Structure formats: C-alpha cells, structure tokens
C-alpha cells in the first residue's frame, strides 16, 4: 500500500534505513494515525501471546493483528492517562493439575470481583472489569474461537467476539463462558508462555474450562439449586438452572459430572439427547448479550468537558477515531431485537427425566433469572 519493497519495510521497522518525512506521512495516513503517534515514546511492558497453540484453525496474521490491536489500545490508554482499575486478579500459586486448587482459585476470584458465595454472576464482562481487566470487542471469530486474552503493559486484556463466522450474534451464554475462560487463563497461566504442543494446549484449555465452570457455577450453589429443583439432573432441570445462572446446558452437564453428581454414563445420555434435539447449535433459554463500559466511561472522564470525548481523545493521541469506535462498539444485529418466544421441546425421554417443560418460555436475548439470591 505504501509502494515500497517488503525488505525495505523490514529495514524501517528495525532502524536500518532512514525514513523521510513524506514516507512517514504516507505510512501514517494508511494506518489511520498521525506521524506524531508513530514517533512518540510510550513505555509499555511487552504484550504477551495468547495461551493457545498458534490458533491452528486461524491465520497467524489474524491473531497477530488482534494482539497488536491490544498493544495499540494500551498505548492510547497510557498516552491519554486514562485511569485503569486496580488489577485485583489473585495470583495462582497452586498445582495446575489439582482440580480442587482451581476450584479454590475461582472462589477467590469471585470474592475479588465482589461476589458472595451464592451470587449469580449477573454480568461477566463487568465482573472482569472490576477485576482490573480491559475488555475489547472483536468483530468476529478467530477460527473457532470467540475469545483471546493477553497481558498488555501487565494489564489483563480480554478480546471478545460479538458475531459468529455465519454473521449471527454470539449467544450470551457462550460469551459469558468465554469471559470466564479467559479470566482463567489470565490468573492460572500468567507465568506460562503459549503452549508448544497439542497435548499441552489441550491441558491448558481444560484448566481454563474448569475455572470457568467453578467461577460461573460454584459447587455448593449448584448443589443447592439442584436440590431446590427436585434433585434430579434432567434436561428440564438444567434448562431451569441455565435460566437463572446464564450457563449453557452442555456446560452444566460437564459441571455436574465434575461435581460427582452424575456419572459418565448419565452425562453421555444427556449429551446424546442434547445432540438429538439439535441443541449443539442452538439451545433453548437464550441468554442476553453483555457489553463493557469501562473504556467509554474512562474516555468520558478523561476528556471531561468535551462535547465529543472520542473525537477529543483521537485528536489528543493522534489516532483516527475509528480505533476508539472499534474499542467501544458493542452493538448487536438489529434483526435480533424482535424475536419469537422459544419454548424448549423436551419430547420423549428416558424414564429418569420428567415429561413436563414446566411451561417455560424465554424470549431471545432475555436472560430472566429467578432471584432467591442477590444478583451482582
């Protein structure tokens, strides 16, 4: 786009070739910034790599662009002197191979996020922000993934997808699980680099999943909820729990298996029924989407008095405002604002399950939760 050879680009990046004012202006124009932004000094600690094995199902260039976007966002945050919330994520010092240690860590993180033992995580993104993380929207999936986390200037940054590869909005329960999963990476794997082997990557992912389950569905609360609903793990019961806790039915099957409430055979039976009903792609009881608020509020506070805080921030730091719009835009498709009511159809089932749906009907993007406990 600049009109120079790739070898010259490498020399420019490594300081082995002088750059003219005209060339600097051309590069800045293409990148959507000013020459001043490219030449200013902002001291940042290095940005880490995501805790996944090279995102084998996504182009490395795409991953690199997202990681670099995190660095650019942090350059803007530091350059504008926006006030970050304190990093209150506990440091994990236990054994990563010990499931009980991960359960204990999740309980500690819940406390740090201001949640009591039996509280529903009312908004996972806000919880992450209270823990000192910056949450940025991604336009779509990275391969099969809708989440990616790094530490930029030592601050936890979570990038979260809003759209699937097919162009539909990411379900709210999947977003919530992804946020919790990335919190798991940030606290469990802070001292680790990206995995080098498929086995190591699988192990790290399972650990982050275990954290997400314990964070969103704490064990004692799940046992109490199950007892309140009759004590039997059925699809109907799981749908009722999902309605209140915002955790997918499939994830709840795994959670109750982890807690020892059901055995492997029972879990397989439930997964088969979920697959037979087509719920692998679209579960009943849709959960509403969430959005971050810290970045926009920080801009409003930092650019206080300006009729257009984003425009003032962009002009102050020397970035095109589209960068800031991209970091604060959590809009969802207009098509999903009006949607028909979905009633779960449990159909025929083995004797261990109830035959009634309980008259449950939940509108799309409506996350209605019963309130026997305080919701945070």
Mean pLDDT across 228-242: 97
Check if the beta carbon of residue 61 is closer than 8 Å to that of residue 142.
no
Number of structural domains found in the chain: 2
Check if the beta carbon of residue 148 is closer than 8 Å to that of residue 161.
no
* 362 has pLDDT over 80: no
Q: Are residues 7 and 110 in the same domain?
A: no
Return the higher-pLDDT residue of 341 and 228.
Answer: 228
138: its two tokens: 């991604």
Burial of residue 364 (CB within 10 Å: 0-12, 13-18, 19+) is middle
pLDDT of residue 340: 36
In a domain, 37, yes or no: no
Which residue spans within 153-278 are E strands per DSSP?
155-161
Q: Are residues 81 and 1 in the same domain?
A: no
CA 9 to chain centre: 34
In a domain, 370, yes or no: no
Residue with tokens 């993007």: 365
Output the CA–CA distances (angstroms, integers) from residue 22 to 33, 149, 222, 276, in the order listed: 14, 37, 63, 63
In a domain, 74, yes or no: yes
Q: Are residues 5 and 53 in the same domain?
A: no
pLDDT category, 344, cuts 50, 70, 90? low
Q: Are residues 294 and 229 in the same domain?
A: yes
Longest alpha-carbon distance in the chain: 78
In a domain, 368, yes or no: no
| 225-233: Cβ within 8 A, 24+ apart | 226/256, 226/261, 228/372, 230/354, 232/352, 232/353, 232/354, 233/261, 233/262, 233/266, 233/270
Domain that holds residue 149: 45-363
* pTM, 2 dp: 0.87
Output the CA–CA distances (angstroms, integers) from residue 254 to 204, 243, 262, in the order listed: 17, 17, 9
270: its two tokens: 């439930």
In a domain, 110, yes or no: yes
134: its two tokens: 């910056």
Find the length of the chain: 376
Q: Are residues 118 and 203 in the same domain?
A: yes
Return the higher-pLDDT residue of 348 and 267.
Answer: 267
Q: Are residues 131 and 227 in the same domain?
A: yes
Q: Are residues 21 and 115 in the same domain?
A: no
Q: In what order do the strands lie in the sheet with 134-138?
A: 134-138, 155-161, 147-152
Return the higher-pLDDT residue of 173 and 53.
Answer: 173
pLDDT tens for each residue of 184-215: 999 999 988 888 888 898 899 999 999 999 99
Check if the beta carbon of residue 363 is closer than 8 Å to that of residue 108.
no
Residue with tokens 């970091």: 327
Residues 6+ apart with CB under 8 A from 235: 249, 270, 273, 274, 344, 346, 349, 353
Average pLDDT, the chain: 87
Q: Are residues 160 and 225 in the same domain?
A: yes
pLDDT of residue 61: 83
Whole-angstrom distance, CA of residue 310 vs CA of residue 190: 32
* 42 has pLDDT over 60: yes
Check if the beta carbon of residue 159 is closer than 8 Å to that of residue 149.
yes
In a domain, 373, yes or no: no
In a domain, 371, yes or no: no
Which segment of 83-87, 111-115, 338-342 scores lowest on mean pLDDT? 338-342
Mean pLDDT across 227-251: 97
């Amino acid at each position: 786009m600049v009109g120079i050879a790739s070898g010259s680009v490498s020399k420019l990046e490594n300081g082995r070739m002088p750059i003219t004012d005209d060339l600097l202006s051309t590069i800045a124009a293409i990148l959507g910034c000013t020459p001043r932004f490219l030449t200013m000094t902002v001291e940042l600690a290095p940005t880490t790599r995501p805790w996944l094995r090279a995102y084998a199902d996504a182009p490395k260039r795409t991953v690199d662009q997202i990681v670099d976007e995190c660095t650019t966002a942090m350059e803007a945050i530091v350059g504008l002197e926006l006030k970050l919330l304190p990093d209150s994520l506990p440091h994990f010092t236990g054994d990563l191979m010990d499931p009980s240690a991960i359960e204990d860590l999740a309980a500690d993180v819940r406390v740090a996020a201001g949640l009591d033992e039996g509280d529903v995580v009312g908004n996972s993104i806000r919880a992450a922000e209270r823990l000192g993380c910056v949450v940025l929207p991604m336009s779509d999936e990275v391969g099969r993934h809708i989440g990616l986390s790094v530490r930029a200037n030592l601050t936890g940054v979570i990038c979260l997808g809003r759209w699937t590869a097919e162009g539909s909005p990411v379900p709210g329960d999947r977003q919530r699980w992804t946020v919790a999963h990335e919190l798991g990476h940030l606290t469990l794997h802070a001292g680790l680099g990206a995995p080098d082997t498929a086995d190591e990557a699988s192990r790290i992912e399972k650990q982050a999943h275990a954290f997400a389950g314990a964070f969103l569905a704490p064990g004692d609360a799940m046992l109490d909820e199950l007892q309140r609903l009759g004590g039997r793990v059925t699809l109907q019961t799981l749908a009722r729990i999902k309605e209140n806790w915002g955790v997918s039915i499939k994830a709840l099957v795994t959670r109750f298996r982890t807690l020892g409430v059901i055995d492997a055979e029972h879990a397989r039976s439930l997964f088969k029924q979920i697959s037979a009903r087509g719920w692998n792609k679209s579960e009943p009881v849709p959960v509403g989407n969430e959005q971050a608020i810290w970045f926009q509020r920080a801009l409003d506070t930092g650019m206080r008095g300006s009729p257009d805080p984003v425009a003032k921030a962009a002009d102050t730091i020397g970035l095109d405002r589209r960068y800031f719009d991209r970091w604060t835009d959590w809009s969802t498709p207009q098509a999903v604002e009006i949607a028909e009511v979905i009633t779960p159809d449990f159909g025929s089932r083995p004797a261990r399950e109830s035959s009634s749906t309980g008259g449950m009907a939940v509108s799309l993007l409506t996350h209605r939760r019963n309130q026997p406990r305080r919701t945070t």
